[in-house]
Chain A
Amino acid sequence: MNEIYVDLAVIGGGPAGLASAISAKESGVEKVVVIDRNSWLGGILPQCIHDGFGVEEVGKSLTGPEYAEMYIKKAEEKGIKFMKETMVLSFNKKLQILAVNKKGLYTINSKSIVLATGCREKTRWHALIPGTRPSGIYTAGVAQSFINLYNIMPGKKVVILGSGDVGLIMARRFTLEGAEVAGVVEILPYASGLPRNVVQCLEDYEIPLFLNHTITLIEGKERIEAVTISKVDENMNVIEGSEKRIECDTLLLSLGLIPENEIAKTARIEIDDLTGGAVVNQDFETSIPNTFAVGNCLQVYDTVDVLSIDAKTAGKYAGEKLVYGGKEKFNCIKVVPGNGIRYVVPQKIDRTGKVIISLRVRKPGENLTLVIKAKNKEIFNKKMPWVNPANMVRMEFNVSEEIFSYESIEVELK
C-alpha cells in the first residue's frame, strides 16, 4: 500500500475537476492532486469534436478538445499533480481515499475532497423498450467515442431515440460520416436538447424529428433490423394503430444522463433523489465536511461553461476554507422545490450573502414568475418570459440573516 498526503484531492479530471482544482490552487492551497481513471484528462470533452464550448465563459467558440486543453495547460502551469489511469475505489469520512493503478494500491490522505465524477448515460432499460436484444444498440455517447476517438463506425442506417443534446449532435455526426439518419424520436412534445442544436444538427440536414413518439418494438435476432415507432397521447400512453416501422441497422439512445455517484456512496454522502447528485450547500459542500461535489455528478448541466463557473466557485471556496477557515455559518435551512419545479441546487443554505440557485422546471411555459417563499411569505421573485425543462434556470439570490429564522424556503413557479 502506498501512502500519499495531499491538501486537496479532486476525483475526476474532466472540466469540473480541472476547473475546481485550478481555483483551489489559486486560493493558495499547496498540494492539489487530480485523480482520473482515464489515460487522458478532460473527461468526455476529447470526444466532443464539435464547437460551441466556451461561448458564455470565455467569449469564443471552442471545440471540446480545445476547451479541455485550455484547462489542462492552466492546471499544469499551476503545478497541479495528476494521477491518471487511477481508479478511486472508495473514500471515508476521514477523507482517506483508496485508489488503484498499475503501480499498486494507494491511500490518499487529504484535508479536502472535490468529487467531480461526472455522469453516465441512461440505457435501453431505463425506457424498458420491448423487443429482441440484438447488437447495434448504442447510447449516443458510446457511439460518439467510437467514431471520434477510435475511428470505428457503428452502423450505416440510424434511428435515434431521445432528443437530448448528445443525440442531436450524433445525428449530425453520423450524417457527416455518410450514414443515413432516419429520424430522431422524442416522447415529449418538444425537443429535450438545446434549441440551437435542433436547428444546427437536425433542421440543417433535414433529419426528421418525431415529437410525441416513442419506440415500441426492436426487431432483429442478431443485429438490429428495424424499430417500430408509435405516437403517444398527452399522458404518454401509446396510441394503438399509430405504429410505423423504420428499417435500420443502428439504434442510438439519447435518453438523458444520470449523475455518477458510486464513489460518493462509499462514504455515505447524502444524495438527493431528485437530482441523483449529492445534497450540497451554496458553496457545494456535501453532507461530509470539506467534501464538495461539482459538475455533472452534482446535477446534469446544459453547457460546460456554466458547469465550469460553478466548479470554480466550489474550488475557490474549498481552497479558502483550507487556507483561512470557512465563512461564518448559520443554522442550516433547506431549499425545497415547490410547484412546477423538478429540482433545486443547492438543497441547503447556511450562510448569508450572494447565492446562485440552479433549478429545472417541470414543463415549458411562458410569462411566469419564479418565487421564493418562506412560510408562505414571498421573499424573492423573478419574471421568466419563458421556461423549458431543457434549459437550466439560474437565479442570484441575496441571503439575509432574516431567513435563518425559518426551517426551509420553497422555490415555485407561478
Chain B
Amino acid sequence: MRNFEVAIIGGGVVGCAIARELSKYDVRVVVFEAGSDVASGASKANSGVIHSGINSPPSSLKAILCVEGNKMFPLLSEELSFPVKWTGKFVIAKNEEEVDELERLMETGIKNGVENLEIKEGDEVKKLEPNISCFSALWIPTAGITSPYEFTIALAENAVENGVSFLLETEVNGLNKKNDIFSIKTNRGEFKADIVINASGLNCRKIVSMVEEPDFDIYPCRGEYLVLDKNYRYLINSMIYPVPVKEMGVLGVHLTPTIEGNILIGPSAEFIEDSSDISTTRKMMKQLFHEAKEILPSLPEKGVINAYSGIRCKISSAGEGLADFRIEESRNFRHMINLIGIESPGLTASPAIAKRVVGMISNIIDLREKRDFKVRKRKKRFSEMSVEEKSIMIEKDKRWGRIVCRCENVTEVEIIEALSNILGAKTLSAVKYRCRAGMGRCQGGFCTQHIVRIMEKNFGMKIKDIKLKSPNSYMFCGKTREENE
C-alpha cells in the first residue's frame, strides 16, 4: 500500500508519539525513518529525563507541553510497559549569588504549574544527598527518569500493533503536492498522503526546504556524555543540576541516574557545523569530568565506562537565548505540519506534542476512535524472573535455558524475540536496545558471535548484511573462506 492519510517523516520520539496517538483512530498512517531502527538520533542520545517544566518561560509551548507531557508519563508507562522512576531533582546553588537564580526558577516553575517546589538549605540537602555539598538547592519532586530508547521503541511498536506502517531505512528525498495530495519520494519509491507531519528533528529544515524557503536556521549544538559504572550508583539518589548556563540556552552539565543504574555526566554544549557529527572529544571528556567533580567531589577517576553524544536541534544561535518549539502548518502548503526546533524538553513533551498534532489533524480529517485499540505488555525478562518462573519458562521452551548474553543474563528466546520485533529492525543495536544483550560490562565480547549465529540460522541473514546500527554500518566483509570452493 502506498496511499496513506497521514505520513510522518521521522521515527524519533516525537514521530513515534504522534504515530502511536494516531493509531487510536481509524486512519491510515505511515512513518518514514531513515535509520535502521527508531530512536536513531537525539531520541536515543540524551539524559533520559522527564522534566518538570521549571526551565521554560511561562506560556511558552516548551513550558505548557513539558508540564502536560510530564503528567502523562505514569499512564503511558503502564500502557506501554517502559520504565519510569520518579527520582526528583535538585538544582544546586554553589554560593549565595546563585540563590537568586533558584528563586527565579521556582517562580517560573510555579507560574508553569509545577507542583511542590521547595528550596532546601545545604545541610538538609546533605541528608538526602550525602555526597553533595551546596549552599542551598531547589527540590523538584515531579522530575523523573526514563529509558528514552525503550520509551520510543514502545511507542513505535504499539503503533504498529495498532495498524501503523513503519518503513525503516527509508529516507525522504523529495516532497510535492498536487491536487491536495502529497507525493513523497523516498529511496524505496514514491508514496502518497493527504497530510504530512515533518517530525524529522535535525532534518526539519531540509524537509521544509523541499516545499518552500524556510524562515529559520538550525544551529546544531552537540552534547557529550560520560557514563559511570553501575558500581557507583550509590553516589547520588536524585538528579543533580547546576543553575542553568544562560548564554548557551542549556541546562548545564548535570548528574543523572539512569534506569539501568549508571550515572550520566553531561551534556556539554558546543555549537557545531555538521549536524550529524556525533563524535566525542578528548577536550569535552576532560571538561565534563572536571565540571561533574565540582558538583560531586568524590567522583572516581576510573569510574567512566562509556561516552556518547547527541545533537540538539536549536533554532537560535549562541547569543540569542531560548527559542520556543514551533508546531505549525506550513504557510504555503496546507496540511503539512512542521515540528521545528524540538529540543529539550522534547522527550518529556513528546506525548503532549502528539496530542496537539493529532488535534490539528482532526481539524483536517475526521478521526474516529477505534474500538479495538491494544495496549502493549512487555514480557518479563529472564533476569527479572523468580527461580520458579524461570523453571516454568524453561519447561515450556528449552531456549529459555540457553543464556546468550552472560553479563545481562539474556536468553536465546529473548534474542529471537528481539529480532522478531514488529518493526522489523534487525541490527545488533536493535537487539541490544530491546533485550539488553551486549549492554553489559563486556560490551558484547561474548554474545556478539552467538547473536550473529542466530541472525544467520534463525533469520536467514547473510553475513554481509549484518549491521551494527545504521544502513551502512556493516559488521563483516564476508566469509574468511568461501565454502564449496
Expressed in whole angstroms, the minimum distance between the Cβ of B405 and any Cβ of chain A is 10
Taking residues whose C-beta sits less than 8 angstroms from the other chain, chain A's interface range is: 35 or more
Among the stretches A128-136, A300-308, A326-334, A387-395, the one at the interface with B is A128-136
CB of A161, distance to nearest CB on chain B (Å): 15
Residue of B nearest to A120 (CB): B442
The answer to whether A152 touches B399 (Cβ under 8 A) is no
Q: Find out whether the CB atom of A128 lies under 8 angstroms from the CB atom of B304.
A: yes
Judged by a CB distance under 8 angstroms, whether B471 is at the interface is: yes
Cα distance, A131 to B277, chains bound together (Å)? 9
Checking B285, B409, B472 against A128 with a beta-carbon cut-off of 8 angstroms, the contacting residue is B285
User: Contact mask A74-87 → B, CB, 8 Å, 1/0?
Assistant: 00000000000101
Whether B398 and A85, one on each chain, are in contact in the complex, defined by CB atoms closer than 8 angstroms, is no
Return chain A residues, CB-CB under 8 Å to B467.
Answer: 135
Q: Is residue A405 contacting chain B, with contact meaning CB distance below 8 A?
A: no
Q: Which of under 10, 10 to 19, 20 to 34, or 35 or more describes the interface residues of B?
A: 35 or more
- List A contacts of B449 (CB < 8 A): 142, 145-146, 149-150
**Are A135 and B304 in contact, CB atoms less than 8 angstroms apart?**
no
- Are B446 and A135 in touch, CB under 8 angstroms? no
Task: Decide yes or no whether B445 CB sits under 8 A from chain A.
Answer: yes
Q: Are the C-beta atoms of A121 and B473 separated by less than 8 Å? A: no
Closest CB of chain B to A177's CB: distance in Å?
Answer: 6
Given contacts A135-B468, A145-B449, A150-B452, contact A223 B481 (CB under 8 A): no
Q: Is the Cβ of A104 less than 8 Å from the Cβ of B445?
A: no
The reply to whether A222 and B280 contact each other, CB–CB distance below 8 Å, is: no
Contact between chains at A102 and B474 (CB < 8 Å): no
A151 within 8 A of B: yes
Q: How far is the CB of B472 from chain A (nearest CB, A)?
A: 4
B470 contacts partner chain A, Cβ-Cβ < 8 Å: yes
Judged by a CB distance under 8 angstroms, whether A155 is at the interface is yes
Within 8 A of B (CB), among A5-31: none
Known: A101-B402, A132-B279, A133-B308. A154 touches B475 (CB 8 A): yes
Does A141 have its Cβ within 8 Å of any Cβ on chain B? yes
Instruction: Give the complex CA separation of A103 and B282 in angstroms.
Output: 49
Are B387 and A134 in contact (CB-based, < 8 A)? no
Interface residue ranges of B221-277 to A (CB < 8 Å)? 276-277
**Residues 75-117 of chain B, each 1 if its beta carbon lies under 8 Å from chain A, else 0:** 0000000000000000000000000000000000000000000
Q: Which residues of A contact B406 (CB under 8 A)?
A: 37, 87, 262
Using A221-B276, A222-B470 as known contacts, say yes or no to A151 and B480 having CB atoms under 8 A apart. Answer: yes
Which residues from chain B contact A221 at a C-beta distance below 8 Å? 276, 278, 470
A104, B479: Cβ atoms closer than 8 Å:
no
Question: Contact string, B403-443, partner A, CB cutoff 8 A, digits 1/0?
Answer: 10011010000000000000000000000000000000111
Q: Which residues from A are CB-within-8-Å of B470?
A: 221-222
Complex contact A150–B474 (CB within 8 A) = no
Q: Does B463 contact A (CB under 8 A)?
A: yes
* Contact of A101 (CB < 8 Å), options: B304, B401, B475: B401
Per-residue interface assignment for chain A, residues 90 to 125, with 1 indicating a CB less than 8 Å from any chain B CB and 0 otherwise:
000000001011111100000000000000110111
* CA–CA, A120 and B442, complex, Å: 7
Given the interface pairs A101-B401, A222-B471, the reply to whether A154 lies near B476 with Cβ below 8 Å is yes
Q: Are A102 and B476 in contact (CB under 8 A)?
A: no
Say yes or no: is A147 at the interface (Cβ < 8 Å to chain B).
yes
Distance to closest chain A CB from B145 (angstroms): 22
A277 smallest CB distance to B (angstroms):
16
Question: A249 within 8 Å of B by Cβ?
Answer: yes
- The reply to whether A121 and B474 contact each other, CB–CB distance below 8 Å, is no
Residues of A within 8 A of B481 (CB): 151
Please determine whether A37 and B479 come into contact, CB atoms closer than 8 angstroms: no
Which residues of A are in contact with B by a Cβ distance under 8 Å? 1, 37, 85, 87, 89, 98, 100-105, 120-121, 123-125, 128, 130-136, 139, 141-142, 145-147, 149-156, 177, 216-217, 221-223, 238, 249, 262
Show 8 A/B contacts (Cβ-Cβ < 8 Å), sorted by A: A102-B398, A104-B401, A121-B442, A132-B277, A133-B308, A142-B445, A150-B453, A153-B479
Q: Which 4 A-B pairs have the closest CB atoms?
A: A135-B468, A102-B398, A102-B401, A135-B473
User: Which residues does B use to contact A, with CB under 8 Å?
Assistant: 276-282, 285, 304-308, 387, 390-391, 394-395, 398-399, 401-403, 406-407, 409, 441-446, 448-449, 452-453, 463, 467-481, 483
